[in-house]
Amino acid sequence: MMTKKKMTLKFYQNLGKLFYAIAATDGTVKPIEIKKLKTFVKENWLDVDDIEDVFGVDAAYQIEAVFDWLNYDKEIDINACYNDFVSYKNAQSHLFTEEVKKLILKTGTAIAYAFSGINKSELILMAKLNMELKKS
């Protein structure tokens, strides 16, 4: 179990943007990628902290909510999603512990590999993310 830090709803919302960017970077989000994300939220992200949204639901479900909303819209620029995540990470670097960074990479990799292994666009984005997370 991770050390409990006081995350925010924006933390989880930005993770939703990041994971959507990873899933959509090849031009389409496959149902297996959505399923993999939801599995990771339930099995890993719910334990990160105890924060809840205004409805009393674990804030980690914001990852799924934002991902689903972006996927529904389909007109969202994935580069903007990724850049929003990076901007948030840089502004709130204290939330990105080594454990959180490892879980982000583990989740992103699982999404990327979910459908027929990782493709070139997903590999490039994951390498970019890995380098970004090593900066802080």
pTM over 0.85: yes
Helix 9-24 vs helix 61-73: crossing angle, to nearest 10: 40
Residue 88 lies in a domain: yes
How many structural domains are present in the chain?
A: 1
Q: Which range marks the domain in which residue 74 is found?
A: 9-134
Mean pLDDT of the region 4-25: 90
Q: Measure the CA–CA gap between 88 and 7, rounded to whole angstroms.
A: 12
Asked if residues 35 and 71 have their Cβ atoms less than 8 Å apart, the reply is no
Residue 2 lies in a domain: no
Mean model confidence pLDDT for the chain: 91
pLDDT at 2 over 70: no
User: Where residue 93 sits, what CATH number does that domain have?
Assistant: 1.10.3680
Residue 44 lies in a domain: yes
pLDDT at 73 over 90: no
pLDDT digits (tens, 9 = 90+) for 19-36: 999 999 999 999 999 999
Tell me the pLDDT band of 118, cut-offs 50, 70 and 90.
confident
Mean pLDDT of the region 30-49: 94
